[in-house]
Amino acid sequence: MIFSKRMWEKYPICNGVSMDIGKGWEDLIDRTLSELTELHLPAFEVTTIKEKFAGLRIYYHATRDKSLSNHARADAIINLAENEAVITCEYCGSQGDDVMIDIPDGHWEKTICKECLHLENVKK
């Protein structure tokens, strides 16, 4: 929640959006929000930032401009961030892999490095 509040203050385009992600993706989110803010899209608002199936998901809503080129750039920025997240450990930010983590009622699919996976298994 502390990270979310910092991002809300820094980037009004994501004000109030819950960011249910690990610390390893915080720099990636910060960079992505900075790049999206620099586009100066009219009525641009990030609506969702979350982890899903070991990947990052960022959704937004914006008023369409006539050329749509800025929206294509926003989509490209988001696609790059989502692609980077699938090879970045959500826990520490180093290079990670898509793995299944067993939990009592099933499993979680996460992007995690070997070191953090070992720590996660030690906690059990």
pLDDT tens digits, residue range 27-52? 999 999 999 999 888 788 999 999 99
Give the pLDDT confidence score for residue 112 in this predicted structure.
92
Residue 88 has, within 13 A of its CA and on its CB side, a CA count of 21
Strand, coil or helix: 37: helix
The beta-carbon contacts of 68-74 under 8 Å, at least 24 apart in sequence, are: 70/39, 70/40, 70/41, 71/41, 73/39, 74/36, 74/39, 74/41, 74/44
pTM of the model: 0.87
Give the pLDDT confidence score for residue 33 in this predicted structure.
97
Q: Among candidates 59, 2, 60, which has minimal Cα distance to 26?
A: 2
How far the first Cα of the chain sits from its last, in Å, is 25
Res. 124: pLDDT tops 50: no
